[in-house]
A and B are shown apart, each in its own frame.
Chain A
């Protein structure tokens, strides 16, 4: 829980983060137009199943592909219709409301240029903005910040802002970053517990037994091993609280007249290999927590909400089909979720590739038809007024061929 609801002073931030900053950066061109834009990037680590978040209910191959796991308009609970083709996961009523009011946009069948399936490398590509994995010490959001003009020293704390014990790579780099650590970090996720128990079962029966007992899984283990297991429902409240606190706090800082304008945070837990639970399990919990985080941002932004864009992105998607353990494995294309009052929303933007086996990437994944960098470049260009040539060379190196997506914002 947020024990300290007042906006932190600059000094408190420095104490919390230990990060020193020398000067700040401002989107001066945007301000010259009389705007004061805010951008918050949320990285979902672990690879979000885009088809379970935003289902192509109008695709004739959809139900056949996912069977009982397919979100449908007639399901229980029922998916929330977006247009004649797509429907939103029922765990996300806030995002649905924003979409209906024109303050949310969904980009589907989107992916970074990364085509392998390693989380670490995929996250590096997503956050570094480089076309290939490799050693990266700065993120595209930070480099975008550098391209903005330095503000006066007296201008206050207008740096980028990162929530979490460690600043996500996307916001690390030469531009100074403030970071804020929630007082209470979340406990280890169910997913981490499951992975550890699985490891212990194969290598250390004593540790396996102790951890199973402590986690209350002993009975499930006796009932039939991994197949019969469901992730513990407990902890959902903690996940929701952590997401909402982190996002709400970020919004508080971004909303301040003298606060930072650009922020980033990361949420883990999306690697749903087993018992994905898109409508009533683990993924539903996570999507619900994300939905709550978006609601918290809207609430805390207050008057600044019309100037706000929240971009939710993930390293890659998941397999189009369900695997043998009621989950999905690492895939390729997925969704990017955009929310905020500055958007020209109420649209799903997709060059839909189809779900027939021949249309799937490598016969297994949703095929990427939109480059996530086009979406991000469009936002940076139209919202913050980062120059297109800088975007193509410095922010997303070697991306000249990927044109900024136009028309995402009300004011282009």
Chain B
């Protein structure tokens, strides 16, 4: 590599991390690759403090209780209105119904409980990104969270999508892919998001009693998006068989069990009995174990290794990743039985990962957090950061489809003009104490052109200089 040490350090931070903070480049310039690997090896890597955050079960039950109280309040209000309307005209009715209903409590102003939980989780995620030394592990968390995405816009996912990321993605981000996969597919957030919580085996006890039946959604997306990849080795029959296998993977109903409501459970009454053949292998009916066995086989499948390897390479390195890099990652993934830390190490150890031109446009969240890191801002109010996510088309934990947000640059180019307005706002809101010339030296100089340097130093004001810095090609692309 022809890069000087500072340029390589800056590239490490922009390409594999969340962008430099003051001092970041100098801190890792002696060994950028070693610094990335050291971040993977750090004890507790990927975990974040959870003191004020709720587990998904607690959050789900709290939200259920909140929604029930809201419903009751609305009903009471309606009843009171009807009683008033009936009023003088129907005294007997009033007498019959006893005392008039108590005045309904007004719904509290501000966001409801699910949204409050969502925002607290978002704050924790953004804080972790701002606090990371390099941010390689956070980027891996974001990558896997998007690979196994759920959406806060679906049903009761809003209050648990943050907990899902902590309990499943963060807990396994440097572990084995098979463990991550199992944790994902058995988490209530995923089971609700992709409808498996309601999927019932047609010949199960529950299936024989009611009209509802099989839902293939989760099974299909596991094969198409989470493991093997689209148009690979599976057929429609595999999808249906696999959907049968994971019937009964559901969520404890709140009314049935106030203590465990909202937690994962395997419900044998919903589970389709009998052996199932998935991708050429027959799995005897062993209840929950049947699904675990299929997931384990999928995690080991070479198509999964290729799918994961090419997605990782596309995300971090290039829209059309070098085949040699994909091959390298897939081999390492297979050789280590899906060890994600070893695969991540293989990524940053591969020369191709450093040689690719800096052509990828940073995703909105990455870019916005990078801007805050560059000026050393740690805002107490994440409103503007969330708004930036929304305006730039990457609303946090709210992808439009199970495929997640795009990893290619092209879709994000459209938002360039909006990025400028956000750059302008961030410079004014968060750049109060920053000297753009210092920010430039600390965050961009080793990678920047003379034109970029001049554009920044000749700006008419510090806020304009910072906005231009955030918009510079070298700050947008990695």
Contacts and interface: CB of A to CB of B under 8 A. Distances in A.
A191 interface: yes
B468 A196 contact: yes
A176 to B, nearest CB: 16
A167 B464 CA distance: 15
A185 B416 contact: no
A167 B423 CA distance: 18
Interface in A157-215: 164-167, 181, 185-189, 191-193, 195-196, 198-200, 202-204, 206-207, 210-211, 214-215
A195 B469 CA distance: 11
Contacts of B431: 166
B420 interface: yes
A202 B451 contact: yes
A189 to B, nearest CB: 8
Interface in A205-228: 206-207, 210-211, 214-215
Contacts of B420: 188, 192-193, 196, 211
A215 B417 contact: yes
Contacts of A167: 432
B471 to A, nearest CB: 5
Interface in B400-437: 413-414, 416-417, 420-421, 423-425, 428-429, 431-432, 435-437
A18 B380 contact: yes
Nearest to B461: A45
Contact of B473 (A47, A188, A204): A204
Interface stretch (B215-223, B250-258, B452-460): B452-460
A210 B429 contact: no
Nearest to A208: B473
B467 interface: yes
B463 A268 contact: yes
Nearest to B359: A206
A270 interface: yes
Contacts of B421: 187-188
Contacts of B425: 165, 185
B462 interface: yes
Interface in B291-331: none
A188 to B, nearest CB: 4
B455 A199 contact: yes
A268 B464 contact: yes
A269 interface: yes
Interface residues of A, number: 38
A192 B428 contact: no
Given A166-B429, A207-B473, A188 B467 contact: yes
Contacts of B436: 120
A185 B452 contact: no
Interface residues of B, number: 36
B460 A271 contact: yes
B462 A211 contact: no
Given A188-B423, A195-B455, A206 B413 contact: yes
A123 B461 CA distance: 8
Contacts of B145: none
Contacts of A347: none
A378 to B, nearest CB: 27
B359 to A, nearest CB: 9
Contacts of A214: 416-417
Given A18-B380, A268-B463, A192 B424 contact: yes
Given A123-B461, A166-B431, A195-B468, A207 B449 contact: no
Contacts of B477: 204
Contact of B429 (A165, A189, A206, A270): A165
A159 B476 CA distance: 41
B472 interface: yes
A113 interface: no
A339 B280 CA distance: 85
A137 B467 CA distance: 22
B184 interface: no
B9 interface: no
B431 to A, nearest CB: 7
A46 B460 CA distance: 5
Interface string B205-223: 0000000000000000000
A28 interface: no
Interface string B52-68: 00000000000000000
A203 B402 CA distance: 36
A166 to B, nearest CB: 4
B180 interface: no
A119 interface: yes
Contacts of B416: 207, 210-211, 214
B465 interface: yes
Contacts of A270: 460
B461 A46 contact: yes
Interface in A39-71: 45-47
Please provide the 3 A-B residue pairs with the shortest distance between their CB atoms, ordered closest to farther: A271-B460, A46-B460, A166-B432
Interface of B: 380, 413-414, 416-417, 420-421, 423-425, 428-429, 431-432, 435-437, 449, 451-452, 455, 458-465, 467-468, 471-473, 476-477
Given A185-B425, A210-B413, A211-B420, 15 more contacts: A119-B458, A120-B461, A188-B420, A189-B464, A195-B464, A195-B468, A196-B420, A196-B471, A199-B452, A203-B473, A210-B416, A214-B416, A268-B460, A268-B463, A270-B460
6 contacts: A166-B428, A166-B429, A166-B432, A167-B432, A188-B420, A196-B420
